Homo-oligomer: A and B are copies of this chain.
Amino acid sequence: MFPNIDPQNGIPLFEQVCRQVKFAIADQAYLPGELLPSVREMAQKMAVNPNTVARSYGELQREGIIESVRGTGMQITAEARRICQKERVRLIQERIVSALQEARFSQLTQEEVTKIVEREIQRLWKSK
C-alpha cells in the first residue's frame, strides 16, 4: 500500500511520506475517525526512521488532516478527505506543469512532448 519511498530522488523523505498519506486518504484508504498506523509501524512499512514519520505526521497535523489523540494515535479529521483530494490534484499538477515548462523553455516542440506524454500515459494506465 505504501511503496515508492525513494531516498535518491531529490524530494525529502518526510515529504514523500506526507504525499503518500495524503494520496491514501484522498483515496479513502483511511476514513475520518480512523487511526493512522502508529509512527513506529508506518516507519517500518516505509523503511524509514520513526523520527522521519513523526515529522511527516506533525506536518499533516499542522495542515488539519490528522489530529493527535493523547496516548492513542493520530486520527483522521473530518475535513481530511476534502483537503487531501484538493492536495492530490494540486501536488501532481504542480509537478507535471513544472516538467512541461522546462520542456517548453528548452525548445522542444509541441509534437515531441505530446509524443512522450501520450506514450507514457498509454504505458502507465494500460493495465487498468
Contacts and interface: CB of A to CB of B under 8 A. Distances in A.
A23 to B, nearest CB: 4
Contacts of A114: 121
A26 B106 CA distance: 9
A39 to B, nearest CB: 17
Contacts of A23: 105-107
Contact of A104 (B70, B71, B102, B125): B125
Copies of this chain, whole number: 4
A124 B96 contact: no
Contacts of A112: 89
Interface size class of A (residues with CB under 8 A): 35 or more
A113 to B, nearest CB: 6
Interface in A87-103: 88-89, 92-93, 95-103
Contacts of A124: 100-101, 104
A63 to B, nearest CB: 11
A117 B96 CA distance: 7
